[in-house]
Amino acid sequence: MSKMLEETRQQPEALSRTLEEASDALKKLRHRFERHRPKLVILVARGTSDNAAQFGRYLIEITAQIPVSLAAPSVVTLYHSELDLSDALVVGVSQSGESTDTNAVLEDARRRGAVTLGITNEPSSAMARICEYALFARAQKEESVAATKTYACQLMAFYLLACALGGKVDPEALRRLPDQVERALRLENSIAEAAADYANMTRAVTVGRGLNYANALEFGLKLMETCYVVAERFSAADLMHGPIAMVERAFPVFVFAPAGVTWPSISYVLDRVRELRAQTLVITDSTNAEAAARGSRVIQLPDAVEEIYTPIPYIVPAQLFAAHLAAIKGLDADRPRTLQKVTLTM
């Protein structure tokens, strides 16, 4: 069994720890933001952590109504631009806390008057030392290069940050997430069977919208790094603005399809790709009976999940799918070629 699979299965406990052990940090953040609420949030990350940051962008803007920007690290590291970051909260996201360009942006931001926060799995990391505040993803050690439990814990950390910023996030809903992930993991056998149908896949499209756009990005990344599939990743809206031209008969399309405000646009995508006779796999839950009838294959989570809380349980089938597909292809998901656990860039 791969470490990737093993660590995917550890997510209920990791999420519970992240939630339970954040109370002191959350109190400090709330106290700070009650005194001085940021007018802008800037998120800086790379790789899987950058996908988590995409989720954070949607979540904070939706629940706390504070504008959020995703940093371009080279603006600081290569162009040495002197940004005015007064009244800004700059949040770095990194599994290891050792990402060189992410940390360089955080150091620069703190010098320029920003409040800095690190979301990392490593309390002893450079990021934790650089930042004024920290929210720790309590995933414990992750050995597989392909991140799974750290991504889910980063999403949980963003829910906690949204709470600290006064966002409309229900703590009870967060406490239900570990159990919902546990039940999603019980679908592993059927997910492995579905993956077997894609043994010869070399290209694909992953699609989400809104809060699940991050999951489309992350699922596509997992297919690329563990299965060597060329995966294009789109929001449902962007797919329709040109890229759908590449979809043809039997082309693999993976779609995150919760009920809620994003469903009409997702539904339209499913109708269009069905007309094109694509091979669609839909990830949804028991609240969306319409989605269950739209895909060539459907992975339906047993819980009824409000859209805002779907990203964590919805990523689990995608992670399991990628891990099993890598095994079917005879690939080592834990050690993808040319990759290391910590990537250093400037």
Which pLDDT does position 246 carry in this prediction? Answer: 87
pLDDT the model gives residue 343: 56
Q: List the CATH number of the domain containing 72.
A: 3.40.50.10490
**DSSP codes joined into one string, 130-186:** HSSEEEE-------SSS-SHHHHHHHHHHHHHHHHTT----HHHHHHHHHHHHHHHT
What was the pLDDT predicted at 56?
A: 98
Q: Are residues 137 and 264 in the same domain?
A: no
- Residue 345 has a pLDDT of 60
- Same structural domain, 162 and 286: no
The backbone torsions φ and ψ at residue 193, rounded to the nearest 5 degrees and listed phi first, read -65, -40
Is 150 in contact with 137 (CB distance < 8 Å)? Answer: yes
At 173 the pLDDT is 98
The ranges of the chain with pLDDT < 50 are 340-341
In a domain, 333, yes or no: no
Q: What is the pLDDT of residue 117?
A: 98
Looking at residue 145, its pLDDT comes to 86
Domain's final residue, options 116, 145, 169: 169
Q: What's the number of domains the chain is made of?
A: 2
Residue 138 lies in a domain: yes
pLDDT computed for residue 344 by the predictor: 55
Angstrom CA distances, 122 to 89, 96, 106, 127, 323, stand at 21, 6, 16, 8, 25
Q: With respect to residue 46, please indicate whether it lies within any of the assigned structural domains.
A: yes
The predicted structure's pLDDT at residue 265: 95
Report the pLDDT value the prediction gives residue 57, as an integer from 0 to 100: 98
**pLDDT value of position 247:** 87
Within-domain flag for 262: yes
Q: Give per-residue pLDDT as tens, 101-143.
A: 999 999 999 999 999 999 999 999 999 999 999 999 999 888 8
Domain boundary among 124, 151, 169: 169
Residue-wise pLDDT for 1-20, tens only, equals 799 999 999 999 999 999 99
The reported pLDDT for the residue numbered 104 is 95
| Same domain for 147 and 85 | yes
- Using DSSP's 3-state secondary structure scheme, residue 27 falls into helix
In a shared domain, residues 120 and 57: yes
Q: What is the pLDDT of residue 242?
A: 81
In a shared domain, residues 114 and 239: no
Q: What's the pLDDT score for residue 221?
A: 97
336 lies in some domain: no
Residue 324 has a pLDDT of 97
